[in-house]
A = this chain, B = another copy of it.
Amino acid sequence: MFPLPQPMKMALAAARDAAAAGEVPVGAALVHRGQVIALTANAPRALCDPTAHAEMLAIREGAARLGRERLEDCDLWVTLEPCAMCAGAIAHARVSRLYYGAPDPKGGAVEHGPRFFGQPTCHHRPEIYSGIGEAEAGALLRDFFTARR
Contact A68 to B93, CB < 8 A, known contacts A107-B123, A114-B116: no
Residues of B close to A122: CB separation below 8 A? 84, 113
Count of interface residues, chain A, beta-carbon cutoff 8 Å: 45
A7 within 8 A of B: no
Residues of B close to A37: CB separation below 8 A? none
- How many copies the complex holds: the figure is 2
A residues 84-124 in Cβ contact with B at 8 Å: 84-89, 91-94, 105-109, 112-116, 119-123
Stretch of A14-22, A43-51, A128-136, A137-145 contacting B (4+ beta carbons < 8 Å): A43-51
**A116–B49 alpha-carbon span in the complex (Å):** 21
Contact residues of A with B, CB < 8 Å? 44-45, 47-52, 56, 59-60, 63-64, 66-71, 83-89, 91-94, 105-109, 112-116, 119-123
